[in-house]
């Protein structure tokens, strides 16, 4: 009677079990015949194979030449599909979110000492209303602005940026006269069709390119400001006919460029101006961006938060009322850029979404100005301004890591613990590499598509290997 097979009557697909009647230990063992019956009796699905593997059934996988070529071909087409999906923008959301995280991981670089920010706060507007002063278009009263500008200009700043939309009145108005005669003051207008409805510049300044700049922000799909304009060409028919952005003009004035020689954004490509931003200009396919509107000249904004807040870019930030106080030391304006804007949330929609959260418009403008100054001050030999790896490089490493992951899985397909260990080390290393590149070299590497292709190649190779698995006799 020695050996006898018993099957569960409720489940004919279960493997047979041998009871060794002669054994003193009474152990129940699955026989080779039982395993063969299980494979032959049911569908050989990936799920069942994976359950077998986890349950400890001993399988061996050996890739021959044909099977190796097959799995490489499968992974190539999967990788190709991922690249096409990325070009179509499928991964843009998560890649930009990862970019934001990389920015936030950088070390602080310290406060800027060339910038002074003066903003009209809710307290300033409350005080203005209490004094009966009128305001225009959510702006600020003429009398208060005149007093503020006179105090600032008296102390010889290099440039003053008035980031406040307003009607400028007639030539007899005191504010009109002051602004017209002070060529250090840069005013703002807004270009329609570029994240704005368009706001006209005063007639007397339209042809003076170094006195007026558009202050349109560039919003991504999630309404986050990650990019900034340098300039826009063919802009003469707009309400705002300025070719240069507000922040770029202020940076040029601070660095003593002769703006009369630079009549259009296209001229910044002339090497004689040493404006070191050309290789950082955005294209439709830049970093994680896929097919964006890159009209004009655009760059990534290299935000520099202090204590995790963009408002802390400079230690010289004041409310209107603080500057107008008799005890205020106005000498801090000397040889600096003075930005004047609005931070009051109750008067105008001044909050902007950034990779570091929400902040007011004038703070974003300060970071844009600071970024342009840094880009144009550094030599090309010591350039640490924010840039990204090119698309061909990303494409090359996407296929390279897919192939490497395929080879790794083929080599370790029968040693699952080591495969998981090495695969985890590989993906973590890739993520750390992108973090180190951003922290040390200010280079944005959109690594997620490379990580995703690597993981999928490992999984697909392992699944294909399981389908080739043979029982150990």
Residue 198 has pLDDT above 80, yes or no: no
pLDDT exceeds cutoff 70 at 442:
yes
- How much is the pLDDT for 325? 86
- Could you give the CA distance from residue 34 to residue 29 in angstroms, rounded to a whole number? 10
Query: What is the maximum span of the chain, computed from C-alpha positions, in angstroms?
Result: 120
114: pLDDT strictly greater than 50: yes
Q: Which two tokens stand for residue 427?
A: 């993906």
Task: State how far the Cα of 85 lies from the Cα of 369, in Å rounded to an integer.
Answer: 36
Q: What is the pLDDT of residues 74-111, one digit of tens each?
A: 999 999 999 999 999 999 999 999 999 999 999 888 78
Q: Are 369 and 170 in contact (CB under 8 A)?
A: no
* Cβ pair 341, 119 in contact under 8 A: yes
Q: Cα–Cα distance between 250 and 112 in angstroms, integer?
A: 15
Cβ partners under 8 Å of residue 344, min gap 6: 119, 120, 121, 122, 124, 125, 350
Would the pLDDT of 275 be above 90? Answer: no
Tokens 């961006």 locate to: 289
Q: Dihedral of the CA atoms 196, 202, 208, 213 (nearest 10)?
A: -30
**What stretches of 95-145 adopt beta strand conformation (E)?**
115-120
b/e burial code for range 319-339 (CB count within 10 A of at least 16 → b): bbbebbeeeeeeebbeebbbb
Rounded CA gap, 29 and 37, in Å?
15
Q: pLDDT by residue (tens digit) across 222-273?
A: 999 999 998 887 666 667 777 889 999 999 889 888 776 676 666 666 555 5
Indicate whether 4 pLDDT > 80.
no
Give the whole-angstrom CA distance, residue 233 versus residue 236: 8
Query: What average pLDDT does the segment 427-456 reach?
Result: 95
Is the per-residue pLDDT at 444 higher than 90? Answer: yes
pLDDT score, position 462: 92
- 43-65, pLDDT tens digit by residue? 444 455 445 544 444 567 788 89
pLDDT value, residue 270:
55
Residues 461, 405: Cα–Cα separation, whole Å: 9
Counting residues of the chain whose pLDDT is more than 70, the rounded percentage is 71
Q: What is the DSSP code string of 308-330?
A: TBGGGSBS-EEEHHHHHSTT--G
- CA-based nearest residue to 366, from 163, 190, 154: 163
């Amino acid at each position: 009677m020695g050996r006898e097979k018993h099957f569960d009557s409720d489940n004919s697909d279960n493997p047979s079990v041998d009871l060794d009647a002669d054994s003193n230990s009474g152990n129940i063992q699955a026989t080779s015949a039982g395993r063969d019956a299980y494979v032959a009796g049911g569908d050989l699905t990936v799920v069942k194979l994976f359950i077998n593997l986890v349950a400890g059934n001993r399988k061996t996988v050996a890739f021959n030449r044909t099977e190796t070529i097959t799995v490489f071909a499968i992974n190539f087409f999967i990788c190709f599909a991922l690249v096409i999906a990325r070009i179509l923008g499928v991964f843009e959301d998560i890649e930009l979110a990862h970019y934001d995280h990389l920015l936030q991981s950088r070390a602080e670089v310290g406060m800027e000492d060339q910038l002074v920010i003066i903003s009209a706060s809710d307290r300033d507007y409350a005080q203005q209303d209490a004094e009966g002063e009128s305001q225009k278009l959510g702006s600020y009263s003429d009398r208060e602005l005149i007093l503020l500008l006179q105090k600032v200009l008296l102390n010889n700043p290099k440039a003053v940026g008035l980031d406040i939309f307003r009607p400028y009145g007639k030539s007899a108005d005191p504010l009109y006269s002051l602004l017209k005669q002070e060529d250090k003051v840069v005013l703002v207008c807004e270009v329609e069709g570029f994240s704005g409805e368009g706001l006209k510049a005063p007639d007397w300044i339209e042809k003076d390119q170094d006195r007026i700049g558009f202050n349109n922000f560039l919003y991504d799909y999630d309404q986050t400001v990650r990019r900034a304009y340098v300039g826009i060409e063919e802009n003469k028919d707009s309400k705002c006919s300025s070719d240069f952005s507000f922040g770029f003009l202020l940076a040029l004035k601070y660095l003593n460029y002769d703006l009369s020689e630079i009549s259009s954004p296209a001229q910044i490509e002339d090497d004689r101006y040493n404006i070191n931003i050309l290789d950082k200009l955005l294209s439709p396919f830049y970093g994680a961006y896929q097919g964006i509107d890159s009209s004009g000249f655009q760059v990534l904004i290299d935000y520099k938060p202090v204590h995790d807040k963009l408002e802390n870019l400079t230690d010289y930030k004041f409310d209107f009322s603080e500057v107008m106080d008799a005890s205020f030391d106005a000498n801090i304006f000397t040889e600096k850029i003075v930005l004047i804007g609005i931070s009051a949330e109750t008067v105008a929609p001044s909050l902007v979404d950034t990779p570091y959260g929400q902040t007011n418009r004038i703070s974003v403008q300060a970071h844009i100005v600071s970024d342009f100054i840094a880009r144009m001050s550094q030599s090309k030999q010591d350039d640490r301004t924010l840039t990204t790896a090119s698309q061909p490089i990303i494409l090359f490493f996407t296929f390279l890591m897919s192939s490497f992951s395929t080879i790794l899985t083929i080599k370790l397909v029968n040693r699952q613990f080591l495969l998981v260990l090495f695969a985890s080390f590989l993906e973590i290393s890739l993520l750390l590499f992108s973090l180190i590149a951003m922290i040390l070299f200010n280079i944005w590497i959109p690594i997620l598509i490379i990580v995703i292709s690597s993981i999928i190649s490992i999984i697909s190779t392992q699944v294909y290997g399981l389908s080739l698995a043979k029982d150990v006799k």
